[in-house]
Amino acid sequence: MDSDVIVVGGGVVGLTTAVTLAERGLRVRVWSRDPAGETTSAVAGALWWPYRIEPAEEAGAWALESLRVYGELARAPEETGVRWVPGVHADTVLDGLGAWAARVAGLRQLPAGEVPGPYATGLAARLPLIDMPVHLAWLRDRLAAAGGVVERRAARGWAEPAAVAPVVVNCTGLAARELVPDGGLRPVRGQLVLVENPGIEEWFTAADAGAAETTYFFPQPGRLVLGGTAEEGAEGLAPDQATAAGIVARCARIRPEIAGARVLGHRVGLRPARAGGVRIEAERLPGGGRLVHHYGHGGAGVTVAWGCARRAAELVTG
């Protein structure tokens, strides 16, 4: 065998896991069905925040570990795609968050008069905002520097990768529904609109974890990302024009200048939500190999990527 590990899945979770393993000295190959730019990760608005992810206690710890890493990566934003950006989480109170919130520097409750839009409560924060096309390319380069390889290759089952490496890591996201199979996985459809930025420098969110419609905008280099939706069970990848118009209208209620911004494009992704939350556990394959499952990150794959990758790496090497 010319590899120690095959990581199946080339999104942010798969690439971050592969980097973590390769930098521990393992020979790693990533099998990715899709180019990085066509994965669900490439669509993500990618503000660090534990959103739509379970189990809550573990997710908080994974998120804080990832926050520490993103803080380091933000020292070179042009290379890594990670920047510190201020903004407001509307309709959110500190007491409603988990224990992790106490360890986020600068997170503070706002008086009603300082919250944009029709919201009585909100939090101010300065958080990592990740430009995903740049970050995914940087992860691939970092993996290559550590000796790892990315291949365009789909896995039809576990026997195929297990034939070329003693350990297989399942980072297939929603595709694990069929591959495992795991009937607890379900898509949560997210639609975004990309517009020219009319001069907005802070992010904004009003995203109830149980709502099908959300309101947020993220200033990314060369564009403003507007969102969004969280449609449980919906699987359509074609942008819906009525949905897009509603997204623009909701964001324009917060910042009216958004209404006249030129539309640059539309994006749709399917978040891999799972009953019971993130699955990180190992099992033995029939031929004696090891399969490490690492999927089900819901709407927070970017937020927990580094913390989860290190947990998965412990199961690979342990």
DSSP letters spanning 254-290:
HSGGGGGPPEEEEEEEEEEEETTS-EEEEEE-TTS-E
* Whole-prediction pTM: 0.96
Query: pLDDT at position 39, please?
Result: 86
Task: Please give the CATH number for the structural domain made up of 5-317.
Answer: 3.40.50.720
Query: What token pair was written down for 317?
Result: 């090497």
Closest CA to 86 of 200, 199, 202: 202
Vertex 145: Cα angle to 163 and 41 (nearest 5): 75
- Concatenate the DSSP letters of all residues of 231-259 into one string: EET----SPPHHHHHHHHHHHHHHSGGGG
Virtual torsion, Cα 70, 74, 76, 82, nearest 10 deg: 80
Query: pLDDT at position 79, please?
Result: 98
Domain boundaries, the chain: 5-317
User: What stretches in the chain show pLDDT beneath 50?
Assistant: none
d(CA 70, CA 160): 34
Query: pLDDT at position 208, please?
Result: 77
180-239: per-residue pLDDT in tens? Answer: 999 999 999 999 999 999 999 999 999 877 789 999 999 999 999 999 999 999 999 999
Query: pLDDT at position 2, please?
Result: 87
Query: pLDDT at position 38, please?
Result: 83
290-305: per-residue pLDDT in tens? Answer: 999 999 999 999 999 9
How many other C-beta atoms lie within 10 A of the C-beta of residue 225?
A: 27
